[in-house]
Amino acid sequence: MSKPQAALFKDYTNAYFKAENTPDAKQRDDLILAYTPLIKYIAARLAARLPPQVAFDDLVSSGIIGLIDAIDKFDLGKKVQFKTYAEFRVRGAMLDELRSLDWVPRSVRKKATQIEHAFNSLEKRLGRPATDEEMADSLDVDLDHYYKLLDETKTISFMDVDLIRQKNPDNIIVGGGFSAISMDQSDPFAALNLQQIRDLLAENINDLPKNERLTVSLYYFNELTMKEIGKVLDYTESRISQMHSKAMLRLRSKLRKALS
C-alpha cells in the first residue's frame, strides 16, 4: 500500500488487544467499524479486475466475516501487527468467496491456457519473452484481437502476488507485497510449496519485459491502481490492464513449466 493510502488505515493493536486477551463485544464492534474502510479498499481492488456479475457488496460481506475471524484468532504473541493479519484474513475470505462462485467461464479458462502455452512455446524457441506481434502471429489473430483476448482473460490472470494462498497465518510476510495468489483449489500450482512459489516468482518477475515488470511492482508492492500506473508509465488504463494480464499469464506459464 502506498504511503498516502497506508495513512488512511491505522493499526489498532495496542488499543484493543492485550496479552492473552481478545476484545470484548463493544471493542469488536469498534474494530469492525474502524476497519470497514480497509475492507472496502481491498474489495475495490479485487472488483476492478472482476466481471460485473460479481457483486461488490458480496466481497465486502465476506471481508467482514474475514475480519471477525481475524479478531477471534489474532495472537499478540506472534509479533505481527493486527492490520497486517486482518488484511490477510479479509483478502483470504474474499478469495474464498470468489472460488465458491466459480465465476470464471470455461471458455475464458481455455483462452488463458492457450495464451500461456503460446508464451511458453515462443520463449523456449526465441530465448526471450515474446512480443505482442509475435504472440498475435502465434495465436493466428491480429493484434487488436490479441489485446481483446488479454482483456477477456484478465479475470483469471489476476494474482495477489492481491493474491500465494497461505492457509497458515504464521507464514505472513510483514510488509511483503506477495501475500497471496488467487487460484483454484484444483490448480496444479497447489503442488508447489510456498517457498518454491516465492523463489520462482522472484526469479521470473525479474525476467519480465520492463513495462510488465514495472506494472507488477507498482500494482502489488506500491499498491497503485491501474489508472495511477497509467499516469506513471504514460499509458492508458486499458493498456496497463493488458500489461498486467500478460505478466500474470507469463508467470502462470512459468509455474506450470516448473511442474512439467
CB 46 within 8 A of CB 162: yes
Residue 142: other Cβ atoms inside 10 A: 12
d(CA 184, CA 187): 5
State CA 78 to chain mean position distance. Answer: 24
Domains identified in the chain and CATH numbers: 1-103 (1.10.1740.10)
Q: Which of 33, 59, 65, 61 is nearest to 45 (CA)?
A: 59
pLDDT digits (tens, 9 = 90+) for 123-153: 999 999 999 999 999 999 999 999 999 998 8
* Biggest CA-to-CA distance, the chain: 62
Contacts (Cβ under 8 Å, ≥6 apart) of 229? 214, 215, 218, 219, 235, 240
Sole residue written with cell 484474513: 89
**Among candidate residues 37, 18, 46, 35, the one with its CA nearest the CA of residue 70:** 35
Coil, strand, or helix at residue 108? Answer: helix
Q: At 167, phi and psi to the nearest 5?
A: -90, -15
Contacts 24+ apart (CB under 8 A), 4-10: 5/41, 5/223, 8/37, 8/41, 9/35, 9/37, 9/38, 9/41, 9/83, 10/34, 10/83
Reported pTM: 0.70
Residues in the chain with pLDDT < 70?
A: 1-9, 19-21, 103, 157-197, 259-260
Q: What is the DSSP string of 146-197?
A: HHHHHHHTHHHH---------S-GGG--TT-S-------TTSGGGGS-HHHH
pLDDT of residue 194: 58
What pLDDT, on a 0 to 100 scale, did the predictor assign at position 84? 86
Q: In the 8-state DSSP scheme, what is residue 131?
A: P
CB 125 within 8 A of CB 217: no
